[in-house]
Structure 1
């Protein structure tokens, strides 16, 4: 089988395509969860340190520590969603179960002073918003993400076996995701300008209310109208956490891609967690200008996704990601040279830099879906949930690591988010943690990505072999039944 991966036979015609309507319905479910993601990085550290008085270093540490539960929950839910068989599907029940927890924990985290939050926290024995409050509700929110997002992404990886259509599925999903991201930025702008209530506290309230409305509206149509595809390969046997980890770590391309993900997810997270402090304290701009800037940044990212998709069809996914990292690093190098009088130039640079983010989000996920085919080819089993659980665990862990490195580094260098009189050293540390250092970390992945072994031709050969093998297995089963 490994010889097949190296290239010796051509595939037969693939299965039917998913279709744009189903891809759109599937992708739309990513919008409400994506509304949540960015405010956690942009506003939660600022809100809990500036408004509620918690230490910035403590907030960063708690955000990182809350990810430790993912070491257990992600592989567990991934394995269970692979093995669970219901008329409703393997992935969808988890999404239904996780949605109420996501809505509750999001409200508790984003709107801690509401009557509902106070009542719920009091019923649990808590008193006031402190480090324990933050840790409990950010951990609950991350657990709900695991319940909803992990099966959702495994479902997306299984929608199509086609190399390019997988990129289309992830592209639509991430485009809706960026739509959610832009909503998380438009909402604070609308509140700041329309209601004259700027600030992180009001931004988080608006985001929480939007998610409360959007979750059922966009999640349940996908669950109702987009079918899960039939399982390819044989039924997955019981796999322990340790055995599952050994299986996926033995997959060389997956191991290489996960290492790369660790580096560039850490870098992206550092940039996001420092952006508010950089614009407010280094560039000396007001909250409303910050919201406009971040909105433009992610519009640039979204608009560039079709461009990166077109490039990936020419260069391959892995080398397109390399190009995206190089493009991001190029424009990051200018940022520490800018000051408060250079905001217009900074705005242009960030539009150019932001255009790279799309390549670093949807293409690696599409590459991970290709890797599952290699495992199915070798083992005759389909462990998409297990693979994406470990993928999500590493992604979330790297994101938390980025927040911790950035916030702890800034605090160590004397940066005070509540002070308007930080010295030059503290401001420069924020600038470097926002730009140069994340770019350097992301660039560590370049050699591993450039020599990545799975390209379009190899994936198509794998897919063709799997389809022919599954067809033979169905014929044998039908013959045995008829006999």
Structure 2
């Protein structure tokens, strides 16, 4: 594929707009669904965790295939448009379930929503890698996408409280609002960002395996997976932590909004730091910040709303680096031509989904096994919750930081 001309600012922004509804959809899937089905509909944490694990692993193995389909056809836009109705209908069913909804309902709707999300997301990410003409422009493209994505999660965090007198009502109304939001954003992105030309490339299915021979790609996948698990464990348990450790359930929406707003505000800082030090060094800096912040979170107790708000700001800033820098490093590895971008981002999404699945599938049953249940009032149950919420991410981030330091010269983008 020939090199593309430099992108105008409007094109970069138009590409990023679709990141808003995709992130808007992702937050309920990973944060609200566990509590909605375990708290409001009465399923046990172990059952919900097992369903999340099974559905997401099944969903994850389809991601490389979706990436190959986009590479093979060279036409990402039509595949994205085709998958959006499945995403929309799946979200509506998940967030506005009937009172009789049980494990089967949760499983089927998760598969539908996640399959639609995957087809859109894999090709959207690969398209971004193909759009940019150099490392600095790739960082701009990724930052645009993740910046709009953070705006999406801020809206998803705040709207359930605003739209309903209780969380379940707010989620149902938010699901209906998601439909026009997705349609509008898709129209802006698909018409405002330049489509890459790849028709007739004829990428063979074997290309899915060939990209795994790239050692630096495998190293980056390992680090990305560890970081994904470190982020997904608190994402799956934060509402329980705010309810039963901090003791302020009414503050959940504002605290989540602060977290994601801090992530959006921190994106320009990480981009500048990446320009100065290199993307890998900037990413390691964010890992150190996360370790310190979650270690502090373990010490909190009832009423520590202000301290937890500060933690949300600092951990949110670290989130901005986790969102923007790893895919920018991957885009640098792929190169300006974008060869195999769909295959790489297919495996990328697979690792993201597996890490999320493992985090939810292990953290929720672990809490169940340690004696925690939503609304628990015993000190031992609350300490178990705090340990899973804070110390598990600290351990994973420490491992990721050590490996990043060891591989820093092989990953690239380090000055």
- CA distance in 2 between counterparts of 1:154 and 1:237 reads 14
Conservation of the 8 A alpha-carbon contact between 2:30 and 2:232: yes
Q: Match for residue 304 of structure 1?
A: 266
Kindly tell me: are residues 169 and 341 of structure 1, through their superposed partners in 2, closer, same or farther at Cα, counting changes over 3 Å? same
Q: Match for residue 166 of structure 2?
A: 198
- CA distance in 2 between counterparts of 1:92 and 1:280 reads 42
Q: Offset of 1:231 from its aligned partner?
A: 4.0
Kindly tell me: are residues 99 and 176 of structure 1, through their superposed partners in 2, closer, same or farther at Cα, counting changes over 3 Å? same
Tell me if 1:289 matches 2:247.
no
Conservation of the 8 A alpha-carbon contact between 1:27 and 1:176: yes
Kindly tell me: are residues 113 and 457 of structure 1, through their superposed partners in 2, closer, same or farther at Cα, counting changes over 3 Å? closer
Conservation of the 8 A alpha-carbon contact between 2:290 and 2:397: no
Supply the RMSD in Å over aligned alpha carbons: 2.0
Structure 2 residue runs of 5 or longer lacking an equivalent are: none
Q: Match for residue 129 of structure 1?
A: 101
Tell me if 1:153 matches 2:128.
no
Q: Offset of 1:420 from its aligned partner?
A: 4.2
Q: Match for residue 244 of structure 1?
A: 208
Q: Match for residue 242 of structure 2?
A: 279
| Equivalent of 2:389 in 434, 441, 445 | 434
Q: Match for residue 100 of structure 1?
A: 85
Conservation of the 8 A alpha-carbon contact between 2:57 and 2:353: no
- CA distance in 1 between counterparts of 2:140 and 2:203 reads 31
Q: Offset of 1:208 from its aligned partner?
A: 0.7
- CA distance in 2 between counterparts of 1:361 and 1:187 reads 22
Kindly tell me: are residues 71 and 344 of structure 1, through their superposed partners in 2, closer, same or farther at Cα, counting changes over 3 Å? closer
Residues 341-392 of structure 1: CA deviation (Å, up to 9, x unaligned) = 3222222222122211000111101111112129x6xxxx821111100100
| Equivalent of 1:325 in 287, 294, 300 | 287
Conservation of the 8 A alpha-carbon contact between 2:19 and 2:149: yes
1:39-438 mapped onto 2 (5 Å cutoff):
39-85=28-74, 90-113=75-98, 128-192=100-164, 197-199=165-167, 201-231=168-198, 235-240=201-206, 244-245=208-209, 247-286=210-249, 288-373=250-335, 382-417=339-374, 419-421=375-377, 423-438=378-393
Residues 32-60 of structure 1: CA deviation (Å, up to 9, x unaligned) = 11111112222111110111111111101
- CA distance in 2 between counterparts of 1:321 and 1:203 reads 36
- CA distance in 1 between counterparts of 2:112 and 2:355 reads 18
Conservation of the 8 A alpha-carbon contact between 1:35 and 1:207: no
- For the pair shown, which has the larger CA radius of gyration, 1 or 2? 1
Q: Offset of 1:150 from its aligned partner?
A: 0.7
Residues 55-74 of structure 1: CA deviation (Å, up to 9, x unaligned) = 11110110110022235421
State the TM-score, normalizing by the size of structure 1: 0.81
**Structure 1 SS opposite 2:303:** helix
Q: Structure 1 residues 61-70 or 141-150, which shifts more?
A: 61-70
Structure 1 residue runs of 5 or longer lacking an equivalent are: 1-13, 115-127, 459-483
Number of residue pairs matched?
411
Conservation of the 8 A alpha-carbon contact between 1:33 and 1:211: no
Tell me if 1:26 matches 2:15.
yes
